[in-house]
Copies of this chain bind each other. A is one copy, B any other.
Amino acid sequence: MLAVFCVRACSGLGGLRTATRVRSVHSLPGITVAQIDEEVAKLLQLKAQIGGDDGKHQFVLKTAKGTRDYNPKQMAIRERVFNTIIGCFKRHGAETIDTPVFELKETLTGKYGEDSKLIYDLKDQGGELLSLRYDLTVPFARYLAMNKITNIKRYHIAKVYRRDNPAMTRGRYREFYQCDFDIAGQYDGMIPDAECLKIVHEILSELDLGDFRIKVNDRRILDGMFAVCGVPDDKFRSICSTVDKLDKMPWEDVKKEMVNEKGLSEEAADRIGEYVSLQGGMDLAERLLQDHRMSQSKQACAGLSDIKLLFSYLQLFQVTDKVVFDLSLARGLDYYTGIIYEAVLTQAGVAPAPAEAQNGASAEESVSVGSVAGGGRYDGLVGMFDPKGRKVPCVGVSIGIERIFSIMEQKAEALAEKVRTTEVQVDISRADLIAEIRKRTSEA
């Protein structure tokens, strides 16, 4: 069997059995993917025949790295959180859809920038090349383009996959839920954007996780800021990724990375440093519209005007107490085109504080437990899938559940709360029924 196989394996690549003839393949244009697939299949079959792994090894009883099971108690808490979130999404008129857990690899290609390296690929077992979804936004955009939908409010709650460094005690997993709410379609400026922020406010309030803050910025403000600070065009993305680290690193280290690693001039970095330290509300947007440097950028001005409009809606919704315009917010994903936002819990003691807490950082930093929601506007993503490039403006928000679960679990434990996991109404294994059955059986 092995001999037959090897002859066929070698001859498969163009019917060649000798070294001389093999070498001449170089000039043969006839080798095809189908032939390679066939050879791969044969080799894998052989591998299966000779028994999987070489030698013996011990079986390890565990879940895959960065993943977890949910026991019935945890499921009960999870269901409660989902119900709150779904209730809010439905109140706001969203329908729900579902998409497969894997997509064609090329559907995900070129959507996530530097983060693409974290995508899980499926093994090539013949047929299409597939990857596990990295978020629910790209599959949503693919769904809209595929079904030519130009107007929808939808929510989608499902697991996504990232080959990231897991930090499970802090709620960072390789498999985790996202609860996404998105609005696609033409609307009056900033109305759907404000609704997304309203939703985050409603959900985090209702879940009663302690105080929180929603940071808001705009990609156009960031790009405009980079331009007026003297960042070369081709470095926008890369500098933006560095700015994104400001929630984990002090400014000095961020500046060092900009200057030493990314080759930015010290002056440009310092100018950026001034801007990214700014936080405020509508007043800050107004002030920056008058700023001698910022006002030179059309892009920045468009972003700042939208922030102003956004805050006027947020005032109406009475949520401005939690929302802050923060020029240091960058967010990693490539596809954002306008407003971006991120919600963080600020209550002390509900979850392990980050390392900075020990280094005398400000009180506010020291109690941050990290981001629990994020999102923004992505007006170009659907167009990347549409054969004619037709754009569908979209804005959305994603609630990350794992950190919220951790907090809810800790709370439940602290309260020694009895979580109900069953709703028994029929218990057909109880003793009296058995007795009844036996009685009838013996009567028969």
Contacts and interface: CB of A to CB of B under 8 A. Distances in A.
Interface of A: 1-3, 6-7, 9-10, 13-14, 16-19, 22-26, 28, 31-34, 36-37, 39-40, 43-44, 46-48, 50-54, 59-65, 67-72, 75, 78, 90-104, 106, 109, 117, 120-125, 127-130, 132, 142-143, 145-147, 153-154, 159, 161, 163, 175, 187-188, 191-192, 194-195, 198, 309, 312-313, 316, 385, 387, 421-429, 434, 436-437, 440-441, 444
Given A64-B130, A95-B421, A122-B120, A101 B25 contact: no
A147 B40 contact: no
Contacts of A23: 3, 6-7
Contact of A72 (B96, B100, B423, B441): B96
B33 A437 contact: no
Contacts of A99: 63, 69-70
A163 B93 contact: no
A427 B32 CA distance: 54
B61 A142 contact: yes
B33 A47 contact: yes
A241 to B, nearest CB: 17
Given A61-B146, A63-B103, A75-B98, 10 more contacts: A2-B31, A9-B39, A10-B19, A34-B54, A40-B40, A40-B44, A64-B103, A64-B104, A69-B147, A72-B97
A98 to B, nearest CB: 4
Contacts of A31: 2, 46, 50
Contact of A69 (B3, B48, B100, B427): B100
A50 B33 contact: yes
Contacts of A188: 429, 434
A13 B6 contact: yes
Contact of A175 (B72, B100, B313, B428): B100
B95 A63 contact: no
Nearest to A59: B106
A90 B424 CA distance: 6
A437 B187 CA distance: 14
A428 B191 CA distance: 8
Contacts of A426: 91-93
A61 B103 CA distance: 10
A104 to B, nearest CB: 6
A397 to B, nearest CB: 14
Contacts of A120: 122-123, 125
B98 A70 contact: yes
Most buried by B among A123, A143, A316: A123
B3 A26 contact: yes
Contacts of A122: 120-123, 132
Nearest to A188: B434
18 contacts: A2-B26, A6-B13, A10-B10, A17-B19, A31-B46, A48-B117, A61-B385, A69-B99, A75-B98, A91-B423, A100-B175, A123-B123, A187-B429, A188-B429, A191-B434, A192-B429, A312-B437, A316-B436
Given A10-B22, A428-B198, A154 B43 contact: no
A405 to B, nearest CB: 12
A132 B67 CA distance: 13
B54 A72 contact: no
A26 B113 CA distance: 42
A125 to B, nearest CB: 6
B47 A36 contact: yes
A124 B123 contact: yes
A153 B428 CA distance: 12
Contacts of A13: 6, 9-10
Nearest to A96: B75
Contacts of A72: 95-97, 154
